[in-house]
Amino acid sequence: MRNKITVVGSGNVGATAAHWLAAKELGDVVLIDIIEGVPQGKGLDLLQAMPIEKRDSFIKGSQDYADSAGSDIVVITAGVPRKPGMSRDDLLNINYKIMSDVVGNVVKYSPNCILIIVSNPLDAMAQTAFKLSKFPRERVIGMAGILDSARFRAFVAMELKVSVENVTAFVLGGHGDTMVPLPRYSTVAGIPITELIEKEKLDKIVQRTRDGGAEIVKYLKTGSAYYAPSAAVAEMVEAIFRDKKKILPCAAYLQGEYGVNGCFVGVPVKLGARGIEQIIEIKLTPEEQAAFNKSAASVKELCAVINV
Ligand SMILES: NC(=O)c1ccc[n+]([C@@H]2O[C@H](COP(=O)([O-])OP(=O)(O)OC[C@H]3O[C@@H](n4cnc5c(N)ncnc54)[C@H](O)[C@@H]3O)[C@@H](O)[C@H]2O)c1
């Protein structure tokens, strides 16, 4: 049996996620969007790339959630992206309405799926999906930390002129200005980067990581990043379908972990066939814990506005 993945929202992130998923032959992909013709056109185009790529992934675009029925994973990218000068939080009310509509339809047709949430503001949208779907927390996962960590890894690799494969990094906390990059837990071939990069340079890399999304929005002007965000989605899907038990930073609903209760924040999780199989608690310094708490508080504030 082939796995089935639905991607809701066939814009930049959704369509590019479908591309990575199909190219990695992770399963058959259904693209959904409200804009008539867009998912159908992009789906057909991608399908026609498969003989060239030698991949047996079937892709179909649709407006009708009936086509998504029985999906194993549903990735939600529907929503409005940022424009220059906007923060992710500015998208709250409009994307809340979209998320409510989407989650209702997804749950109706795929009651046993694992949800991967991408729409911003990420943590608040993941919380919306969690509350409205009534799924267990293992099956609602927010994508942000992998992207933020990948940005950090790319900048470190550039700075040290080493392979990106050698660089591991952890960025925790909410997906926003309060994200918490952890240089202490970031390494190059096992060597802590704090021993390889002087503090001033490292601080600059940390700041560039925090502003990583805005830097791209400023260049693009009419939208936000999508290649790296959708590659991060594919990594999560692969970890789940291949039951890899991979430790990745994702937004998860915390129930006391890291001293936070009742909200989504980015933490290291173990991703496997059941979704989030474990939340890994690492020791934080008082400063890191304070930054983490600040991040959680800002997520809670947003969730209070939309009452989730
Ligand atoms: N979590 C992250 O790290 C991360 C990274 C990048 C983008 N994002 C977020 O992902 C979202 C999508 O970004 P994008 O660049 O693909 O935007 P986009 O505008 O290119 O695509 C969004 C798509 O959603 C569709 N849509 C809107 N309402 C819908 C509904 N009710 N049902 C189905 N589809 C609907 C739109 O028609 C559009 O095609 C944004 O909210 C963006 O901020 C998050």
How far is it, in rounded angstroms, from Cα 171 to Cα 61?
34
State residue 66's pLDDT score. Answer: 98
pLDDT tens track for 125-176: 999 999 999 999 999 999 999 999 999 999 999 999 999 999 999 899 988 7
Angle 174-236-287 from CA coordinates, rounded to 5°: 25
pLDDT tens track for 263-272: 999 999 999 9
If one residue of 74, 80, 235 were mutated to test the ligand 1 pocket, choosing by the most ligand atoms within 8 A of its CB, it would be 80
The strands making up 261-272's β-sheet, listed across from edge to edge, are 59-62, 28-32, 4-8, 73-76, 114-117, 140-142, 246-255, 261-272, 275-279
Q: Does 178 have pLDDT greater than 90?
A: no
Q: Known catalytic residues?
A: 175
8 A C-beta contact, residue 288 and residue 210: no
Task: Identify the bridge partners of residue 246 per DSSP, sorted by sequence position.
Answer: 271
State residue 87's pLDDT score. Answer: 84
What is the pLDDT averaged over residues 53-68? 98
State residue 112's pLDDT score. Answer: 98
Q: Which atom of ligand 1 is nearest to the CA of 101?
A: 31
State residue 97's pLDDT score. Answer: 96
* Ligand 1 shell residues, CB under 6 Å: 8-14, 32-35, 77-82, 91, 95, 98, 101-102, 118-120, 122, 143-144, 147, 175, 223-226, 229
Q: Name the residue at shortest CA distance from atom 22 of ligand 1.
A: 11
CA 244–ligand 1 middle distance (angstroms):
28
Confidence of residue 7 (pLDDT cuts 50, 70, 90): very high
Phi–psi pair at 267, nearest 5 degrees: -145, 165
Confidence of residue 198 (pLDDT cuts 50, 70, 90): very high
State residue 297's pLDDT score. Answer: 94
State residue 72's pLDDT score. Answer: 98
pLDDT tens track for 17-51: 999 999 999 999 999 999 999 999 999 999 999 99
If one residue of 13, 40, 101 were mutated to test the ligand 1 pocket, choosing by the most ligand atoms within 8 A of its CB, it would be 13
Helices (H), the chain: 12-23, 38-53, 92-109, 122-133, 145-160, 199-210, 212-220, 227-241, 286-306
How far is it, in rounded angstroms, from Cα 90 to Cα 88?
5
Q: What is the largest CA-CA distance in the chain?
A: 55
Other beta carbons within 10 angstroms of residue 36's beta carbon come to: 8
8 A C-beta contact, residue 175 and residue 210: no
Pairing of strands 191-192, 4-8: unpaired
Q: Which atom of ligand 1 is nearest to the CA of 143?
A: 1
Task: Identify the bridge partners of residue 62 per DSSP, sorted by sequence position.
Answer: 32
State residue 177's pLDDT score. Answer: 79
CA 79–ligand 1 middle distance (angstroms):
4
Average pLDDT, the chain: 96
pLDDT tens track for 61-70: 999 999 999 9
Distances (CA, A) of 303 to 83, 177, 308: 22, 16, 5
Q: Which residue has the tokens 């009419």?
A: 222
Dig out the tokens for 174 from the structure. Answer: 């909410």
CA 129–ligand 1 middle distance (angstroms):
15
In this prediction the pTM is 0.97
pLDDT tens track for 272-290: 999 999 999 999 999 999 9
CA 120–ligand 1 middle distance (angstroms):
8
Give the helix/strand (H/E) hosting 4. Answer: strand 4-8
Q: Which atom of ligand 1 is nearest to the CA of 98?
A: 31
Other beta carbons within 10 angstroms of residue 218's beta carbon come to: 11
What is the pLDDT averaged over residues 227-243? 98
CA pseudo-torsion sign 250, 253, 256, 261: positive
Instruction: Name residue 40's amino acid.
Output: Q
pLDDT tens track for 89-99: 889 999 999 99
